[in-house]
Amino acid sequence: MSWRAPQGGGPRIPGFDSTDNVFSGGSAGGPPLLSLIVAALAVGLVGLFLAIAFGGSMGQGTAAVPQPTQPPAVLPTAPPAVQPTAAPAATTAPAQATSTPARGAAGIPTEPLGPALVSGTGTPIEIGTDVALLIFNKDQVRVPNGPVTLTFKNLATAVQHNWVLVQGGDDVASAVNDAAQAQVRVTRDSAGSVPPADTPGLLVATPMLNPGEEVTFTFQPPGSGTYEFICTFPGHYVAGMKGVLVVE
């Protein structure tokens, strides 16, 4: 009986009263723990958002700084790379211009030459060639004493011709023709078969004209007299391609 009392009074001991433990622990610690957990979560979330916000903004700010720095670093580098490329191109052009005088020095004239060549205008005359034969279309032309403006036309369809006036007859013409042939060995081109300007007996000479070409120029004959004109293309003078200019 007595043992029931202590046992019955067992509930008086809080440690043995499971009901008390459950109610007392649950009712007293439940609300504070939840509040702490929620608060911790809230603080954690806020901290996380702040970390992301600041971290993101700082990250962007940090990345934005190097970006403006990189473009300037690339742009100054690109233009110098292009400019050195353009400079060599400009250097190539003068080299080509240098090769042009070299061809002129080879002895192929492109303009009329000779000591009788003058500027201005004179008595106009026109001399052509035959279409197929190695002859001029005029074997004698008469002009008054004074400047003469000649238009020479190569009317041939397949042969080069020129017009060369000499001070003298066949002897001088032959020597001038030989001087022209010698230029072929220098130029290695039939277009170079033109007597040099300082050839003795030469008055004026046109460049070698291709079929269909013509040239107009003015020259001053030394005075009244008869002057022989010839074509100095290889073989043409000896074939009879010549005529006379009579200055009255």
Give the DSSP letter string of 187-204. H-SGGG----TT-TTEEE
Residues 161-220 that bind Cu ion (CB under 5 A): 161
Among the listed residues 187, 102, 116, the one whose alpha carbon sits nearest the alpha carbon of residue 232? 187
Residues 11-50 that bind Cu ion (CB under 5 A): none
Helix boundaries (H) for the chain: 4-8, 18-64, 66-105, 170-187
Whichever of 43 and 133 has its CB closer to Cu ion, that residue is 133
Task: Quote the least distance from Cβ 92 to Cu ion, whole Å.
Answer: 39
Task: Quote the least distance from Cβ 205 to Cu ion, whole Å.
Answer: 12
Task: Quote the least distance from Cβ 236 to Cu ion, whole Å.
Answer: 3
Residues 103-162 that bind Cu ion (CB under 5 A): 161
Residues 219-238 that bind Cu ion (CB under 5 A): 231, 233, 236
Among the listed residues 159, 168, 197, the one whose alpha carbon sits nearest the alpha carbon of residue 180? 197
Q: Is 86 helix (H, G, I), strand (E, B) or coil?
A: helix
User: How many chain residues are in contact with Cu ion, going by CB under 5 A?
Assistant: 5
Task: Quote the least distance from Cβ 188 to Cu ion, whole Å.
Answer: 19
Whichever of 136 and 217 has its CB closer to Cu ion, that residue is 136
Task: Quote the least distance from Cβ 102 to Cu ion, whole Å.
Answer: 27
Give the DSSP letter string of 42-83. HHHHHHHHHHHHHHHHHHHHHHHTHHHHHHHHHHHHHHHHHH
Whichever of 218 and 242 has its CB closer to Cu ion, that residue is 242
Residues that bind Cu ion (CB under 5 A): 161, 231, 233, 236, 241
